[in-house]
Structure 1
Amino acid sequence: MKYLNLIRYKNLLMIALMQLIILYGFLKLQDIGLALTIWQYILLVVSTVCIAAGGYIINDIFDQNTDNINKPNDVIVGKSVSEGRAYNIYVGFTLVGVCIGFYLSNLVLRPNFLLFFILPAALLYVYATSLKQMMVIGNIIVSVMLSFSILIIAIFMILPAIDEVNKPQMQTVISVLSDFAIIAFILNFIREIVKDLEDVKGDYNQGMQTLPIVFGISRTTKLVFGLSFIPVICILYYIYNYIFHLTYATIYLLGFIIGPLLYFTIKIWSAKSKIDFHHLSNVLKLVVFFGIISIAVIGLNMKYYAA
């Protein structure tokens, strides 16, 4: 179990679930040709998960002192798993992810696509070793990685299969995936700031320059309050302009996405304690999960129950 916790298996399962839902709940319902077969797509999922697992491990390795303050009961590296063994596991996961990426890139006749595996792996390492301590930059990097786990599907499943005949339809599919990636980025960016609010004590003792440390907890909380309106407005705009005719999808988004986001907005205004911020971080994590499910809800509604 300690090794599963080391790689944050729950987060990895969420990434894998998201990518599988995009395939079966959206792409497979669009009646389009895809560049990868099912088993090749599974390899893409495995590669993404492996690189993400490596990122979690290297982050834990360099976060030992901070974690001993912020979450002493959850520390793994240096306690149940030695630092040396953690490094070996990190290298193993990262190499597997990049090697699969090398295979898939050549499979779709785009060898330069290997960069889409090497760059995230390198960025996660640099994030853990230095960028995490820089204000806002670390939050952006983590959020970009989540969005990229969506965009890489478009890169490998759609781009190599585009021709002059299907180009308009393929561009529409890419646009939808891009919209999901943007919303995922915004939600995760806000959640990363909330996590900084939750971990402010340990981060301060390690000399990190997060928003709560630089601007204070109160000002950062008010900033998050303002930022929380962005995904609400974006999603309402998306509903009104693109899926309002999809009754079930509209109801789902209003109830399971907009509802929790409005709850978050109300609660963040008066949040002060570590417990408050931890709760609100979990609320956003739940919103991201419901957002993943919404991909299938929209896809199924478009195919079978469109007005």
Structure 2
Amino acid sequence: MKFYLKLIRWQNLLIIVLTQFLMRYAIIKPVAGLLSITLFSDGSIEPLALQLPFIDFIILVLSTVTIAAGGYVINDYFDIRTDLINRGDIIVGKRISRRRAMMWHNILNIAGVSAGFYISFRVGYFWLGTIFLLVSGLLYFYSSTYKRMFLIGNIIVALLTAMVPMMVLAYELPVIYSHYAPLTIGMPSLSILAYWVGGFAIFAFITTMAREVIKDMEDFEGDRAYGSSSFPVVAGIGVSRIFVVMAQVIALGLIITVWAKYLGDYYTLAYMIVTIIAPLLLSVYFVISGRAPSGFHRSSFFMKIVMLAGVLYSLLVWLIIEKGLLT
């Protein structure tokens, strides 16, 4: 069992679950509650509330997680040779047979895509289910081909990571509109929800992009031996350092700009300095000074802290709204 859990990267799957729950209950729900509508029936005013049934939300999360798990399985299926060079050990082909790994990949993807079409039907947009089908296929071709192409694999992973929070909003907005539109004199703009969730998605994209290139720097020897066209293999470690630091500086600049222009509270500032800016600067340091895989591994570790802290910032947003400090 432990090898199956390791194969599907259970820790990463928990972060996906955490991200989608926090987007729904720490961002969308409290921010929507700041908006109000006037009812036709009696002219009363009430705040907007979540309308996607909880069981449907759970199905959405399970669909996301199972497709991601299938992606991890197929990734290890195609990475046997490079993992032997970079890590000295493998799961698929040693602990779990290639045939069994492919079987579980198929089971997970069929379950995830089916659940995706079901939840799309539930919200009245069946065609949205094609997103899950496309992601499933994209993960397969990422593992078999795209990850070894210059920057393409990195961009795909960053985009898919950014989609995790956005999927929650994509399936909540249709049912909010369908529920409230017939009941109210005028629907308020829900763009503020897109700004908040989109902000988390953009941060996820940039930080994931940086971390993926760092991981490629860490795996440089194995990728070069296998003939991969990863960014470090094609452009070199020096150019890769510059690229990563530029992405990290952009992430730093964006969070400072957003705080200064739109937020301005000292709770957020303190949180950002301690949990995001400090580890981000440490990651920059190890990218610049690293001369071996161990140095790049440390940089990747601190980027993971930054990414997790970005997700957990939603809890602080919830707390600030609950106390009425953010309007």
TM-score category of the 2 structures, normalised to the smaller one: over 0.9
Q: 1:237 pairs with 251, 257, 273, which one?
A: 257
8 Å CA contact 1:221–1:271 kept in 2: the answer is: no
1:266 aligns with 2:285: yes
1:94 aligns with 2:97: no
Q: CA deviation at 1:177?
A: 0.5
C-alpha distance in structure 2 between counterparts of 1:97 and 1:166, whole Å = 33
Q: CA deviation at 1:126?
A: 1.1
Per-residue displacement from partner, 1:145-201 (whole Å, max 9, x unpaired)? Answer: 110111111110123423483341x21101211111011000000000000000001
- TM-score, length-scaled by structure 2: 0.89
Higher helix proportion (structure 1 or 2): 1
Tell me the amino acid that sits aligned with residue 207 of structure 1. Answer: G
Counterpart of 2:225 in structure 1 is 205
Counterpart of 1:14 in structure 2 is 15
Tell me the amino acid that sits aligned with residue 249 of structure 2. Answer: F
C-alpha distance in structure 2 between counterparts of 1:156 and 1:21, whole Å = 15
Q: 2:194 pairs with 174, 177, 202, which one?
A: 174
Per-residue displacement from partner, 1:112-158 (whole Å, max 9, x unpaired)? Answer: 11112111111111111111111100000011111011111111012
Q: 2:63 pairs with 47, 55, 61, which one?
A: 47
Give the percent of matched residue pairs that are identical in Structure 1 and Structure 2. 34
Could you say what secondary structure the match of 1:26 adopts?
helix
Per-residue displacement from partner, 1:189-238 (whole Å, max 9, x unpaired)? Answer: 00000000000011111110011111211221133222220100000001
8 Å CA contact 2:283–2:300 kept in 1: the answer is: no
Equivalenced residues, count? 304
Tell me the amino acid that sits aligned with residue 21 of structure 1. Answer: L
Q: 2:100 pairs with 51, 63, 85, which one?
A: 85
Per-residue displacement from partner, 1:25-82 (whole Å, max 9, x unpaired)? Answer: 2222232333411121111111100010011111110111111111123x11000000
C-alpha distance in structure 1 between counterparts of 2:13 and 2:310, whole Å = 16
**After the TM superposition, which residues 134-283 of structure 1 pair with which residues of structure 2 at under 5 Å, given as runs?**
134-162=149-177, 163=181, 165-168=186-189, 170-244=190-264, 246-283=265-302
C-alpha distance in structure 2 between counterparts of 1:283 and 1:254, whole Å = 14
Pair 1:28–1:14, CA change in 2 (3 A): same
**After the TM superposition, which residues 60-71 of structure 1 pair with which residues of structure 2 at under 5 Å, given as runs?**
60-71=76-87
8 Å CA contact 1:35–1:156 kept in 2: the answer is: no
Pair 1:84–1:305, CA change in 2 (3 A): same
C-alpha distance in structure 1 between counterparts of 2:198 and 2:102, whole Å = 34
Tell me the amino acid that sits aligned with residue 5 of structure 2. Answer: L
8 Å CA contact 1:249–1:301 kept in 2: the answer is: no
C-alpha distance in structure 1 between counterparts of 2:188 and 2:98, whole Å = 49
Q: Which runs of 5+ in 1 are unaligned?
A: none
Tell me the amino acid that sits aligned with residue 18 of structure 2. Answer: L
Could you say what secondary structure the match of 2:224 adopts?
helix
Q: Which runs of 5+ in 2 are unaligned?
A: 34-47
Tell me the amino acid that sits aligned with residue 30 of structure 2. Answer: L
Could you say what secondary structure the match of 1:77 adopts?
coil
C-alpha distance in structure 1 between counterparts of 2:57 and 2:193, whole Å = 17
8 Å CA contact 1:22–1:296 kept in 2: the answer is: no
C-alpha distance in structure 2 between counterparts of 1:269 and 1:86, whole Å = 38
C-alpha distance in structure 2 between counterparts of 1:92 and 1:232, whole Å = 40
8 Å CA contact 1:26–1:300 kept in 2: the answer is: no
CA RMSD in angstroms comes to 1.4
Q: CA deviation at 1:259?
A: 1.6
The structure having more radius of gyration, on CA atoms, is: 2
C-alpha distance in structure 2 between counterparts of 1:96 and 1:268, whole Å = 39
Q: CA deviation at 1:299?
A: 2.4
C-alpha distance in structure 2 between counterparts of 1:70 and 1:210, whole Å = 14
Could you say what secondary structure the match of 2:114 adopts?
helix
C-alpha distance in structure 2 between counterparts of 1:217 and 1:238, whole Å = 32
Q: CA deviation at 1:305?
A: 4.5
C-alpha distance in structure 2 between counterparts of 1:235 and 1:116, whole Å = 29
1:26 aligns with 2:45: no
Tell me the amino acid that sits aligned with residue 149 of structure 2. Answer: M
